[in-house]
Amino acid sequence: MRHVIVPEDLTASEVEAVFAISRDLQEKHDAGRRDALLPGRVLALVFEKPSLRTRVSFQAAMAHLGGTSLFMGADTGFASSRESIADFGRVLSEYVDAIVCRSKAHDTITQLAAVSSVPVINGLSDYCHPCQALADLYTLRQRVGRVAGLTLAFVGDGNNVARSLAVLCGQLGMRFVLAAPAAYQFDAAFRDHLRTLLPDAAVVETEDPVAAVKDAAVVYTDVWASMGQEREQAARLRAFAPYQVNAALMRHCPDALFMHCLPARRGEEVTDEVIDGPQSVVVEEAANRMHVQKGLLAWLLGHR
Ligand code: CP
Ligand code: NVA
């Protein structure tokens, strides 16, 4: 039984195995077929924060695979004074075959996984968002073929999405460049973790967005204030103003793709012109969340 709490819970070859199942299921889906690999299986989605993509893509994935899913929001009392996370997790995992958890604090998912008798998948925490990074690299693979040696330039906050991409890029041999104000780059603990985990990974941090995108195959951004950071919104708007991904920045990399995990704050981290422009693959990227999560669910629940 395996959990996917952080991207490094999957090795590079396991990522490839998940992608292979995803591709097969996507081809069938595009041809109008559903492969019921998980009949009768039940997926619980325990969410402490809002979601469109993660929630619906997992629920649709489970339906396509012949299983079912339960969405569990605030009224189930998860991570509240109603009962302990351990009691919640021990009981829930008796009823279902896998759990996706979106939590405020990363440690909540770790605690849930520690007691769960079924696989737990991180559907986003304040620390990382592994399912997003998997779908992003899958999308890139489909778009450009071989990704090793290419550069992903993340222009924006060194947040949960950026950390996950840094790890997955390192695992798949891509260069990762983060362009952000110094105060919003990775912290020392994450830098140390990356160096230990992936000593050969090419990870660069800079305050210069133009230098970051110059050789990039992909320019990626995300909101400047993530869920839970609403009170920092004004300060972050000021700090990140020079890091907006707009047409002027994209002129430095006319062949690069533009990616964003969504939801986007149009007019802040990205302009309409870029997110709706010819370099943008954001809708395909969001669509691939479902295909990759199908592959991940099938892989975790026994189709290896
Ligand atoms: N990208 C992403 O995880 O979107 P949601 O917050 O809508 O799930
Ligand atoms: N960094 C964003 C990602 C949303 C999918 C957040 O955590 O709110």
Residue 46: CATH number of its domain: 3.40.50.1370
Q: What is the mean pLDDT of residues 98-126?
A: 98
pLDDT class for 226, splitting at 50, 70, 90?
very high
Residues 59 and 181 in one domain: no
Expressed as residue numbers, the domain containing 295 is 7-128+286-300
Q: Is residue 275 domain-resident?
A: yes
Q: Is residue 239 domain-resident?
A: yes
The residue assigned the tokens 């000021």 is 238
Asked if residues 139 and 158 have their Cβ atoms less than 8 Å apart, the reply is: no
pLDDT class for 74, splitting at 50, 70, 90?
confident
Q: Is residue 75 domain-resident?
A: yes
Neighbours of 149 (CB within 10 A): 10
Q: Nearest 5°: phi and psi at 121?
A: -115, 130
Q: How far apart are CA 86 and CA 170, in angstroms?
A: 33
Q: How far apart are CA 64 and CA 121, in angstroms?
A: 19
Q: Is residue 265 domain-resident?
A: yes
Residues 159 and 211 in one domain: yes
- Among candidate residues 109, 239, 235, 111, the one with its CA nearest the CA of residue 185: 239
Expressed in angstroms and rounded, the spacing between residue 50 Cα and the centre of ligand 2 is 10
> pTM here?
0.98
Expressed in angstroms and rounded, the spacing between residue 286 Cα and the centre of ligand 1 is 8
* pLDDT at 1 exceeding the cut of 90: no
Asked if residues 120 and 65 have their Cβ atoms less than 8 Å apart, the reply is: no
Residue to probe by mutation, ligand 1, list 48, 52, 131, 161, most atoms within 8 Å of CB: 52
Residues 138 and 206 in one domain: yes
Residue to probe by mutation, ligand 1, list 45, 48, 49, 54, most atoms within 8 Å of CB: 54
Residues 120 and 187 in one domain: no
Q: How far apart are CA 255 and CA 185, in angstroms?
A: 26
Residues 90 and 169 in one domain: no
Q: Is residue 1 domain-resident?
A: no
Residues 135 and 277 in one domain: yes
Question: Crossing angle for the helix pair 12-30 and 130-144, nearest 10 degrees?
Answer: 70
Q: Which ligand 2 atom lies nearest to the CA of residue 228?
A: 8
Q: What is the mean pLDDT of residues 23-39?
A: 97
Residues 136 and 107 in one domain: no
Q: Is residue 186 domain-resident?
A: yes
- Ligand number with the minimum distance to the CA of 261: 1
Binding pocket residue ranges, ligand 1, CB within 6 Å: 51-55, 124, 132, 261-263
- Among candidate residues 242, 241, 191, 227, the one with its CA nearest the CA of residue 52: 227
Residues recognised as catalytic? 102, 129, 132, 222, 261, 289
* pLDDT at 265 exceeding the cut of 80: yes
Residues 33 and 53 in one domain: yes
Residues 93 and 138 in one domain: no
Q: Is residue 2 domain-resident?
A: no
Residues 124 and 89 in one domain: yes
pLDDT of residue 169: 98
Residues 76 and 136 in one domain: no
End-to-end CA distance of the chain: 12
Q: Which ligand 2 atom lies nearest to the CA of residue 132?
A: 5
Q: Is residue 208 domain-resident?
A: yes
pLDDT class for 304, splitting at 50, 70, 90?
confident
Expressed in angstroms and rounded, the spacing between residue 226 Cα and the centre of ligand 2 is 5
Number of domains in the chain: 2
Residues 67 and 87 in one domain: yes
pLDDT of residue 303: 79
Expressed in angstroms and rounded, the spacing between residue 124 Cα and the centre of ligand 1 is 8
Q: Which ligand 1 atom lies nearest to the CA of residue 55?
A: 8
Provide, rounded to the nearest whole percent, the portion of the chain with pLDDT above 90.
98
The three-state secondary structure class of 119 is: coil
